[in-house]
Amino acid sequence: MYTALHDEYEFDSFLIGTSLATQFIEREDEVRAKFKIRGTMSIKNHITNAVRNKFRTLTSAREKFEKPDLVIILNIFSDKTYGFTAKSKSIVAAGRYTKNQRGVSQRRPKAEEFNTRLDDDRLNSKSIEGIISDKVIADTKGSDVRFSWVGSEDKNSLVLGRGRPFFVEILNPKKRTFSNNTLIISESEIHARLDILDEGFPRSPTRSRTVTKILIHCSESLSEKDLKQLDSLAGTTVKFKNRFSSIEKKIYSVLVDRINRSQFYLTTIADSGLPIKQFVGGIEYANPNISMLIGSNCECISFDILDVIIQ
């Protein structure tokens, strides 16, 4: 165990368990019954304690029964051969990313979602999740990465400012810290920074507000009076409904910047998770919405995330 693990895994604590072939347990039971032996340590516990003590001496790591860094199971088989398996405790990192190019999805497509060759390009296309996963696994030698996102954006949106927060759980990592304490990912598409969290995932959901710049096109020419109607959105709560549920998101401020008579930018500070396209044109699903206030059919052409503010 020591030879195989001490150079592969970083760990300060461990726990060793033993899986003993049934024949040894049965023979021990026979001996105990025959000689009326009670109250002494079982052969399984004896082996486990002996191995734990030796491993502790070799590694100088401490034995820990709750959430150790490394769990090792010693398997002793009926033919007296043996082996072991090892699994390390997951680690959690918090990060932020900015997206510098349009056309990059947040999430990596799953292979089972596609069943035609036409999907190959999409399946192999770059994503925020894929770029970060590859770097994190290479640095920690973990087996997989699970993401918890603080909001999302459109594939063609930029993410600017301090970036979008996210959390990653790194499964079965061999290295428990990043090479330089902080992992910096700098690619042409994204820039990200991750730091290991000692306390793991946040216990409560992360509340945040998002600053979003929306490019809007309307079917009719707009007057200054029409655009002035949008000021009433500040401080309001927008209700979104569909067949199955409803949500509410608060708008804290709005800023209008006219481009021409039918197009303008709308910059909002709102609760994260605001459905932007429904907010602009969803007359049936969002109340209030941009089209309703202006009295014209409006469409979200694109939107960019300028900042995400953790509350």
CATH number for the domain spanning 13: value is 3.30.2130.30
Q: Is residue 229 part of a domain?
A: yes
Query: Could you give the CA distance from residue 269 to residue 263 in angstroms, rounded to a whole number?
Result: 20
Written as six digits, the tokens of 88 are 């390390």
Tell me which residue of 293, 105, 91 sits closest to 194, measured CA to CA: 91
Side-chain-side CA neighbours of 179 within 13 Å: the count stands at 9
Q: Is residue 34 part of a domain?
A: yes
Q: Is residue 203 part of a domain?
A: no
Say if residue 236 is in the same domain as residue 175.
no
Tell me which residue of 210, 209, 216, 275 sits closest to 241, measured CA to CA: 275
pTM flag (> 0.75): yes
Predicted confidence band at 115 (pLDDT cuts at 50, 70, 90)?
low
pLDDT at 119: 55
**117 has a pLDDT exceeding 60:** no
pLDDT at 181: 86
Q: Is residue 190 part of a domain?
A: yes
Q: Pick from 88, 111, 144: which residue ends a domain? A: 88
Q: Pick from 59, 88, 117: which residue ends a domain? A: 88
Contact 171, 144 (CB under 8 A): yes
Domains contained in the chain, number: 3
Say if residue 193 is in the same domain as residue 251.
no
Say if residue 251 is in the same domain as residue 295.
yes
Q: Pick from 69, 88, 107: which residue ends a domain? A: 88
Interval 193-229: pLDDT, tens: 999 998 877 777 788 999 999 999 999 999 999 999 9
Tell me which residue of 182, 185, 81 sits closest to 133, measured CA to CA: 185
Say if residue 95 is in the same domain as residue 168.
yes
Range of the domain at 78: 2-88
**167 has a pLDDT exceeding 60:** yes
CATH code of the domain covering residue 132: 3.30.70.2510
Q: Is residue 202 part of a domain?
A: no
Query: Could you give the CA distance from residue 193 to residue 179 in angstroms, rounded to a whole number?
Result: 13
